[in-house]
Amino acid sequence: MDKKNHRQGNLERRTLLSTIGAIGLGAAISLPARAKSAPPHRLPAQTEWDAEPPQAPAHSGHIAIEGGRLYYWDTGGDGPAIVLLHANTGSAMTWGYQQPVMANAGYRVIGYSRWGHQGSEFPAGSSLGSAVDDLRHLLDALEINRCHIVATAAGGFTAADFAILHPDRLHSLTIASSWCGITDPDFVRVSRAILPPGFHDLPPEFREVGPSYRAGNPAGTARWIELQRAAIPGDPVRQPRSVEVTPDTLARLPFPILLMTGDADLYMPPSLMRDLAARLPNAEMVGIGEAGHAAYWEQPRAFNRAVLEFIGG
């Protein structure tokens, strides 16, 4: 696509996003094609679920960083790499619906656990470092020069930091159900105002798993809770941020961005994600029907479809 057509496509996207903001996410609107094709603006909810499918063969191991051992798994192969960044309630083990689908689509898929999460070992008293440096060490150790990053929730904070500091290492960036740790005062004010006092004391499955999924798939909800409880075996670890993230810094990223959120996401509702998408000239937005904050788990068909169409388009 030449620069003139690319700019025209971005202008058309901005116009559509303004229209979407006026009529609401409920309307089914398709964005203009970014390349060969682009995912539709809103994907419908699945109402029947299977257990996690058999996983593709993968090597697992640890990367030595700052006196600790960062756990990862890697499906290998010659395809472009997709690196998955989990939520605060997750770990490398929570991508059971994504790993085989993306591997079977021809990608090399990598998941890893940040410090404090299942499989990664971080001795007390060691230097924490930054999550961005950890991700860079992981890519270097696996000899991955560039990759597609797919991040959800708090994983989006690390993804945004990494993208701003190391844009040459990315083919594309997908951020789902995350406000990316943006420090813009108006954005922070709104994102804080929508969560009432005591919200973070509520059970994780209430905060992060949407009501449609909890009502429609009790077995899947129980499995999510099981994975969540195993994901943080000790005290939570909070690493320092590496860079200030604003809509302006994200707008300067030179690669395509996919933003996703669910109808029932309590942290990043569609209105907030629309506002962010409207500020990013290289961004597309996808809404997922009925999904809460854990869209990758609640609506894996829509989630996987959106990612694969986006990075393959």
Helix intervals (H) in 60-210: 99-104, 131-141, 155-165, 185-193, 204-208
Q: In this predicted structure, what is the pLDDT of residue 236?
A: 79
Comparing 301 with 183, which gets the higher pLDDT? 301
Q: How far apart are CA 86 and CA 177, in angstroms?
A: 11
**Residue 279, amino acid:** R
What pLDDT does residue 161 have?
97
- Position 22 scores a pLDDT of 31
The Cβ of residue 169 has, within 10 Å, a number of other Cβ atoms equal to 18
pLDDT digits (tens, 9 = 90+) for 228-260: 999 999 887 888 888 999 999 999 999 999 999
Alpha-carbon distance of 313 to 32, in angstroms, equals 12
| Tens of pLDDT, residues 59-83 | 999 999 988 999 999 999 999 999 9
Q: What is the overall mean pLDDT for the chain?
A: 88
Average pLDDT over residues 18-33: 32
DSSP strand pairing (68-74 vs 42-43): unpaired
What H or E segment, with its residue span, contains residue 111? strand 108-112
d(CA 80, CA 44): 28
Residue 150 — pLDDT band, cuts 50, 70, 90? very high
Q: Is 273 helix (H, G, I), strand (E, B) or coil?
A: helix
pLDDT of residue 295: 98
pLDDT tens-digit profile of 186-199?
999 999 999 999 99
| pLDDT of 41 above 90 | no
Domains of the chain: 55-312 (3.40.50.1820)
pLDDT at residue 122 is higher than 90:
no
Cβ contacts of 55 within 8 Å, gap of 6 or more: 96, 99, 100
Cβ-based neighbour number of residue 84 at 10 Å: 25
Which 3 state secondary structure label does DSSP give 61? strand
pLDDT at residue 125, rounded to an integer: 66
Residues 99 and 55: their CA atoms lie apart, in Å, by 7
CA distance 245 to 127: 24
Q: What is the mean pLDDT of residues 19-46?
A: 46
Q: Which amino acid is at 220?
A: G
